[in-house]
A and B are shown apart, each in its own frame.
Chain A
Amino acid sequence: MAEEEWQPKIIAIICNWCSYAGADLAGSARTQYPPDVRAIRVMCTGRVDPLFIMKAFADGADGVLVSGCHFGDCHYIAGNYKCAKRMFLLKSVLKDLGIDDHRLRMTFVSASEGAKWAMVMEDVVKTIKELGPSPINQLKQ
């Protein structure tokens, strides 16, 4: 299989107040980044149930990004802390399941960090492309 042709499926669950706004700012500034990631907006990363991420991997996602506000900047005081704790735990569960934990990533991008959002996009796509298709997809085939 030609590696060039493989398009990874990456889903991002991002908070309304910081990362979604930061992603919009990257747009206003016309900062270019690869188009592989699809975003779902929630009000706060605190809303992210680990089961959403497990569902995404079960559905065949090659990578999942969760992005919220910087610590101390959460619009709802501390939803990002609570999410980060869950993500750490979830990473160890993923490892046990044989899924490289680099496929799950949590980042903190503020509403003023459009350039950082573009960097995160570049980096996530690069990481997932290096890791290749998810083992779940390979099992399915």
Chain B
Amino acid sequence: MAEEIKQPRIGVFVCHCGTNIAGTIDVEAVKDYAATLPNVAVADHYQYMCSTPGQQMIQDAIKEHDLTGVVVAACTPRLHEPTFRTATKEGGLNPFRFEMANIRDQNSWVHMHDAEGATEKAKDAVRIAVAKASLLEDLYPKSVPVEHAAMVVGAGVGGIQAALDLANAGIKTYLIEKSPTVGGRMSQLDKTFPTLDCSQCILTPKMVDVGRHPNIELHTYTEVEAVDGYIGNFEITLRKKARGVMSQDEATAKGIVGGGCNGCGDCEAVCPVIKPNPFELGMAPRKAIYIYHPQVVPLVYTVDFDSCVKCGLCVEACGDKKAIDLEMEDTFETVKVGSVILATGYEIFPVEKKREWGYKQFDNVITSLEFERLICASGPTGGHLVRPSDGETPMKVAFLLCAGSRDNTGVGKPYCSRFCCMYSLKHAHQVMEKIPGCQPYIFYMDIRSFGKMYEEFYYRIQNEGAKFIRGRVANILEDPKTKNLHVYAEDTLLGRPVDIEVDMAVLAAAIQPAADTDHVRHLFGVSCSQDGWLLEAHPKLNPCGTTTAGIFLAGVCQGPKDIPDTVAQAEGAASAASIPIHMGKVDLEPYFAQCIEEKCAGCGMCVNQCPYSALDLIEKDGRTVMHVTEAKCKGCGTCGGFCPGGAIYMQHFTTPQIVAQIDAFLLGGEE
């Protein structure tokens, strides 16, 4: 609140942004115009206001002209507001006495062919900003303590890496996974390109580590139910789904000495219910009490209550361990964390929607993930690649790249799924290695081998004898007798149609965000891009952060990426998420609502508007007035937009400030 009324003295600085702004807008004219505006003490322009000399200009001008407010006409406040607030502060002013006029992202870049219109718009934008800057006040961020704990949602390789990094940095970390085991997609893979490391061999040690790390509290078969709070103080409710089986720790806590699941598998042996195993993509059976595979972490069985007939045979088989409880119900637990990393991953695009390739119509058309399981030594066939139709070894295999990716028909996905080229090269290598004489045919649009040692791997597979045909497959037809497949395409390099008869076709299906990504992002208040991938705060300069403070992203949930990129982003996200925790406190932007008690009639209508229950009615000096709990207020201003008496003072977005902006535009700054 203003202590003394001082005539505002505003400094206006117009940025050229190289030619980004100056190439379209007459910056000199904007500067000259700004100098004529009421309250403007100084107006200047410079090539890059965000650079050190640019920021120095602001600091010097504040001192020289005794400024009360600063306006920079440049890019968007979403990019450089923090930069210029710092400069304003270094110049000796309260950082919130800064206002930005967006004359680049919302002006010069979108009106490139209308220099005159753009310049007029820039002048108006500066006038609007000066009007607001004239009414800005000193504000002080509220510092809140940060809980010394973090949460990682999703325990694929990205989530595992992020959790390990946080835990190794001394932070208590809750790792949440909805399926019964950690490991994610990577645990389904056989080998990894381009090094041909065995996927399990490099992943399982990390899986074991998260299971036993003293700083990691692992919650498998658990989903996030509700999220409350803000950076530093998230309160997250977890739904621990009824697993039907107690771990050894849980049994000990219940006083069953030496009890709990030890993974012996006696229950599974007697269970009479057989269902397809989703880990093997339905190509192998599992029982109603199951583990996905022998390397699961934690090694605890799970009852599928949807198919369990509650015969009780498993309970008998378990005996004194008393691990199985067929009446178990979901339980809820609330934990407090300072920051959160989302690593919810992806799923395979339902490629049967592309009917021309015959997936789910023809037995011998499979997806790449099914191929991974079939070629994997621990898979349903023990690593022997066979045709689903007759169990024979295929001698000619077609690989169809961009199966649903880079597809503008509206059926598939417009984006590149980024790792399909490379794993298809790996698959070609694997069939040639495992089946002597087997000929792979790779149908591609472009081979995108962009990573370290990837291009070299591409040459290697070419030299090994894989046949590359540049062209997207038009359709696949099955020979009903032999179940062989005819693959029809145009070889665009030779300019002629091809018809190749193969034993098996593998579709490198596109990927899409995991099914519950949308639900999770609504819980955490994170935006998504048009394709449904979670939206990073900035695609280049803040790829791990989100626009919600304290929430970070790792892995494919942010966009398609391979394992090295996922792990790198996970490490970045872990580092970013640990910053507020290690700082111990965070500053919240001081955009709090305040009650102007003289004007408040105590009607209480605002109380219902507040989504955060930050407002209450209190008795003060014999009157009922509204009271704001600042720690709960997030500064949306919904109460301020609703108050019939104008009694809510919305800091930094006050009614006088906004009305001044409207007047400045429409009345030319005159009252």
Contacts and interface: CB of A to CB of B under 8 A. Distances in A.
Interface of A: 9, 11, 13, 16-18, 20-21, 23-24, 26-28, 30-36, 38-44, 46-49, 51-52, 55-56, 59-61, 72-73, 75-79, 82-83, 86, 110-113, 118
B107 A35 contact: yes
A82 to B, nearest CB: 6
B120 A76 contact: no
A33 B110 contact: yes
Contacts of B655: 49, 51-52
A112 B609 CA distance: 28
Nearest to A40: B661
B635 interface: yes
Interface in B98-154: 102, 104-107, 109-114, 117-118, 120-121, 124-125, 128
Given A47-B650, A76-B636, A35 B662 contact: no
Contacts of B646: 51
Contacts of B535: 111-112
Contact of A40 (B77, B112, B529, B658): B658
B394 interface: no
B638 A34 contact: no
16 contacts: A13-B658, A17-B547, A20-B78, A23-B106, A31-B110, A33-B110, A35-B117, A35-B120, A42-B637, A46-B609, A49-B642, A49-B658, A59-B662, A73-B527, A75-B548, A111-B527
A83 B663 contact: no
Contact of A35 (B118, B591, B612): B118
Contacts of B650: 47
A32 B112 contact: yes
B641 A56 contact: no
A28 B109 contact: yes
Contact of A72 (B522, B634, B643, B659): B522
Contacts of B79: 24
B168 interface: no
A76 B611 CA distance: 7
Nearest to A42: B653
A47 B666 contact: no
Given A32-B112, A40-B658, A24 B527 contact: no
Contact of A39 (B106, B112, B634): B106
A55 B643 CA distance: 16
Given A21-B527, A23-B106, A110-B527, 17 more contacts: A24-B78, A28-B105, A34-B111, A35-B114, A40-B665, A43-B636, A46-B638, A47-B637, A47-B640, A47-B641, A51-B655, A59-B662, A59-B663, A59-B666, A112-B528, A112-B530, A113-B530
B667 interface: yes
B542 interface: no
Size bracket of the B interface? 35 or more
B525 interface: yes
Contact of A43 (B111, B120, B527, B637): B637
A61 B117 contact: no
A76 B106 contact: no
B666 A11 contact: yes
Nearest to B527: A111
A19 to B, nearest CB: 11
Contacts of A38: 121, 124-125, 128, 665
A10 B105 CA distance: 19
In this complex, which of B527, B528, B591, B634 has the most chain A Cβ atoms within 10 angstroms of its Cβ?
A: B527
B654 to A, nearest CB: 10
A79 B667 contact: no
Nearest to B650: A47
A23 B110 CA distance: 9
Contacts of A40: 128, 658, 661-662, 665
Nearest to A23: B106
A42 B641 CA distance: 11
A56 B663 CA distance: 7
Contacts of B638: 44, 46-47, 76, 79, 82-83
Given A9-B665, A44-B637, A73-B527, A21 B104 contact: no
Contacts of A41: 77
Nearest to B548: A75
B110 A32 contact: yes
A60 B661 contact: no
Nearest to A121: B110
B307 interface: no
Interface in B45-87: 76-79
A104 to B, nearest CB: 14
Contacts of A24: 76, 78-79, 102, 105-106
Interface in B610-664: 611-612, 634-638, 640-643, 646, 650, 653, 655, 658-659, 661-663
Contacts of A55: 659, 662-663
B671 to A, nearest CB: 11
A43 B640 contact: no
A59 B671 CA distance: 10
Contact of B547 (A28, A59, A111): A111
Contacts of A21: 78, 527, 547
A77 B527 contact: no
A34 to B, nearest CB: 7
A32 B609 contact: no
In this complex, which of B107, B109, B528, B646 has the most chain A Cβ atoms within 10 angstroms of its Cβ?
A: B109
